[in-house]
Copies of this chain bind each other. A is one copy, B any other.
């Protein structure tokens, strides 16, 4: 009988071993091999050993594509992101990947060329066509948030860092709270009010930060200056900083990210306005370089790693509830933290003089 079987066996010389090869060598069916691989309890220990030995001898490697075809799950998640070069998205992506690895998932990335509705839905489409089990979208702009709701995909999705107010779960840092933390810190140092350099107008994070800044000023009864609009780059921070540096009444600036704060620092330095002697500056993000700016930057730390891993957990739960028909999970907010360093100081009398 064994001879007969061996005669029947197709010639697979060269090609990698498959499950039935392992089974044949171990003297069991391919299904028992599958049971061993998937940890079924209904396999006798000695059979398991024989199968394991056969797998080892043949250098057998399970084919996850075949498995995905039959189970309908690829153990792969998609991440849609815009500029993965920026510190924020890059760290978030990193956090997601780490959490995904732990949860047994792979991460496939789709970065966007442009930030319009079309590219977002095109990316979501591409990913779901490729067979991902779920999608994380690192959203930072209103258009993409809208695009997410408009997408017809049935794949579970979670928005990260920003997103529509309803429809899909959102995991993000509490931007408004962070901005208010920064603004209150400056007010408490005695500054009459706080100027603000924002991110791009359509950035969701930027808008939230503006709101947090405004509400903190109003709560304190401080005047609300006109906000200056930047584009996250050090370059824009520099040019807006030059503008602000001309106005001696400006003694405190809350800048919507650390890169722009770096540009502002440089502009102030060029104009001979001391930081924090004449002007106090607070950034946002706490990039690794922030403590080494001149002077070391007071800023609001966002825990991107936490955002990444938390959003992954939410997505995995969304996938499970999608399969079981349970109610999908809600989103969550990560608390930011103020890092006080050397770019902020109590308002000086010199500045007070020009003011009163």
Q: Are A108 and B111 in contact (CB under 8 A)?
A: no
Asked if A69 CB lies within 8 Å of chain B CBs, one says yes
Question: What is the total number of residues of chain A having a CB less than 8 Å from a CB of chain B?
Answer: 51
Q: Pick the contact of A108: B68, B106, B263 (CB < 8 A).
A: B106
Q: Which residues of B contact A109 (CB under 8 A)?
A: 93, 97, 107-109
Q: Are A263 and B292 in contact (CB under 8 A)?
A: yes
How many Å from the CB of A79 to the closest CB on chain B? 9
Best-surrounded residue of A65, A263, A296 (most CB of chain B within 10 A): A65
Q: Are A64 and B129 in contact (CB under 8 A)?
A: yes
Q: Which residues of B contact A296 (CB under 8 A)?
A: 266
Q: Pick the contact of A266: B108, B129, B266, B293 (CB < 8 A).
A: B293
Q: Which residues of B contact A85 (CB under 8 A)?
A: 87, 90-91, 94, 288
Asked if A198 CB lies within 8 Å of chain B CBs, one says no
Give complex CA distance A79, B303 in Å. Answer: 25
Q: Are B66 and A292 in contact (CB under 8 A)?
A: no
Give complex CA distance A288, B293 in Å. Answer: 15
Q: Which of A163-171, A207-215, A232-240 contacts B (4 or more CB under 8 A)?
A: A232-240
Query: What 0/1 readout, one digit per residue, does chain A (74-87) give for beta carbons within 8 Å of chain B?
Result: 11100000011101
Q: Which residues of B contact A76 (CB under 8 A)?
A: 108, 130
- Which chain B residue has the least Cβ–Cβ distance from A62? B129
Q: Are B74 and A84 in contact (CB under 8 A)?
A: no
Asked if A61 CB lies within 8 Å of chain B CBs, one says yes
Q: Are A94 and B87 in contact (CB under 8 A)?
A: no
A259-B288 CB under 8 A given contacts A90-B90, A266-B293: yes
How many Å from the CB of A294 to the closest CB on chain B? 5
Q: Pick the contact of A97: B94, B111, B259, B269 (CB < 8 A).
A: B111
Q: Are B94 and A129 in contact (CB under 8 A)?
A: no
Q: Are A292 and B65 in contact (CB under 8 A)?
A: no
Give complex CA distance A93, B75 in Å. Answer: 22
Q: Which residues of B contact A128 (CB under 8 A)?
A: 61
How many Å from the CB of A102 to the closest CB on chain B? 10
Q: Which residues of B contact A74 (CB under 8 A)?
A: 65
A289-B259 CB under 8 A given contacts A63-B131, A111-B94, A129-B64: yes
Q: Are B262 and A131 in contact (CB under 8 A)?
A: no
Asked if A265 CB lies within 8 Å of chain B CBs, one says yes
Q: Are B234 and A288 in contact (CB under 8 A)?
A: yes
Q: Are A235 and B291 in contact (CB under 8 A)?
A: yes
Q: Which residues of B contact A265 (CB under 8 A)?
A: 294
Q: Which residues of B contact A97 (CB under 8 A)?
A: 84, 109-111
Asked if A185 CB lies within 8 Å of chain B CBs, one says no
Q: Are B294 and A294 in contact (CB under 8 A)?
A: yes
- Which chain B residue has the least Cβ–Cβ distance from A295? B266
Q: Which residues of B contact A294 (CB under 8 A)?
A: 265-266, 269, 294
Give complex CA distance A66, B64 in Å. Answer: 12
Beyond contacts A76-B130, A84-B90: 11 other A-B pairs, Cβ-Cβ < 8 A, are A65-B69, A66-B69, A84-B93, A90-B90, A97-B111, A101-B110, A108-B108, A108-B109, A234-B291, A237-B292, A259-B292
Q: Name 10 A/B residue pairs within 8 A (Cβ), A-sorted.
A: A62-B129, A69-B69, A85-B90, A97-B111, A106-B108, A106-B110, A234-B292, A263-B292, A266-B292, A294-B294
